[in-house]
Amino acid sequence: MEKFGPEVKNLIRRLLESIPLYFDRNLTLNSDGRRLLSQLLRYLLYEHQEYRYLAREIRKNPTIENVIKLARIILSSDEIN
């Protein structure tokens, strides 16, 4: 399993724990959520360049499904539950 920095883990947790705050009624990121996602992806790509294609996909289509896909990569199964 790859090692991700604490900033990346904290930001993805914050996104997932505050869904009503960062997602609209269609479960797409709102402007505050996009700002948080942008910061998260910046930290992630600084550490792991191999995720640049996934980052591009999530920036194009910032839905809850894509954010969860990213969370499954970053967080261990113990941290998700």
Which tokens go with 43? 């930290």
Query: What is the band of 81 on the pLDDT scale with cuts at 50, 70, 90?
Result: low
What is the C-alpha separation between 8 and 62, in angstroms, rounded? 17
Q: What is the pLDDT of residues 2-51, one digit of tens each?
A: 789 999 999 999 999 999 999 999 999 999 999 999 999 999 999 999 99
What is the C-alpha separation between 51 and 37, in angstroms, rounded? 14
- Cβ neighbors of 81 (< 8 A, separation 6 or more) are none
Q: What is the pLDDT of residues 54-78, one digit of tens each?
A: 999 999 999 999 999 999 999 986 7
State the CB neighbour count (10 A cutoff) for residue 74. Answer: 20
Residue pair 59/48 in contact (Cβ under 8 Å)? The answer is no
